[in-house]
Amino acid sequence: MLPLTLVIAALYLWASWQALRLPAPSTLVQRLVIPSALVLHALALGLQTLHGGELKIGVGEAASLFTWQAALILWCVCLTSPLQSLGVAAYPLAAACVIWTAFSTNQGRPVNDWTIALHILFSLLSAGLLTLAAIQALGLTVLESILHRPGNLAMARRLPPLQTMERLLFQLIFIGFFVLSLTLLSGMLLNHEEPSQPPTMIVMSFLAWVMFGVLIFGRLRYGWRARLATRWMLSGYLTLVVAYFGSKLLLAPYLN
């Protein structure tokens, strides 16, 4: 397992280095390096989470899974939009989670109920979408800062247009908010049948959902733009991270 982990991490870091170094996307990286990393990462996740035909996801596996989703979504987006520079943050994060999972023990509980599996799927999908949205928000913040300094215009030319990044940010937020809503709904139904999820996790998850809802309303009603939007986005994302990992394990108690 360790050799596979090192290969995946090396591919992700290579892709990140190329995104940082080259002003234009590399065909080799986009068509071979990143797809290879994604396929091998998916294989590693399968080996780590499937035990005797049962799904078993611990906190490390969950983090690895949603960073894999973020990397996959970014790669797909880059097929049509010049957003490769976001890989400077997204790919090292995926590499770090791959390494973390390889050196940690899967403490998750086997999942046999399809309703719980569906809840986990919604949770991890929303986490992957909103992780990429958070990276996008950070990239937008950096780009805005660069554009306000005339001496950094050469660096700004290597980044995607502000309007493109802003449009993708809100697309990710809209989709992530919808999937997060499904996550909370399925979680409430499960918790109603068996009240075992930590109250703090429920409250913090709902607070994050409200933050994203306010952000979407502000965008649609008042046309909120980059700076204000990124503040709400990052605040909501950090609240969601606290909700997940502040309870020690993601999706407690199903991953305990």
Residues 103 and 50 in one domain: yes
Given a cut of 50, the residues of the chain with pLDDT beneath it are: 195, 248-256
Residues 98 and 122 in one domain: no
Among 111, 139, 160, give the residue marking a domain's end: 111
Residues 149 and 245 in one domain: yes
The residue written with tokens 């139904």 in the block is 189
The pLDDT of residue 191: 60
The pLDDT of residue 164: 81
The pLDDT of residue 6: 94
Residues 69 and 124 in one domain: no
In three-state secondary structure terms, 163 is helix
Residues 140 and 106 in one domain: no
The pLDDT of residue 199: 66
Residues 97 and 184 in one domain: no
pTM (predicted TM-score): 0.78
Residues 178 and 163 in one domain: yes
Q: What angle do CA 194, 195, 197 make, to 5 degrees?
A: 115
The pLDDT of residue 39: 96
Residues 172 and 219 in one domain: yes
CB atoms closer than 10 angstroms to residue 136? 28
The pLDDT of residue 110: 63
Residues 105 and 126 in one domain: no
Among 88, 111, 134, give the residue marking a domain's end: 111
Q: What does the radius of gyration of the chain's CA atoms come to, in whole angstroms?
A: 19
Quote the domain boundaries for residue 73. 1-111
The pLDDT of residue 256: 45
The residue written with tokens 């080799």 in the block is 28
The pLDDT of residue 254: 46
Residues 29 and 76 in one domain: yes
Euclidean distance between CA atoms 237 and 228, whole angstroms:
14
The pLDDT of residue 223: 87
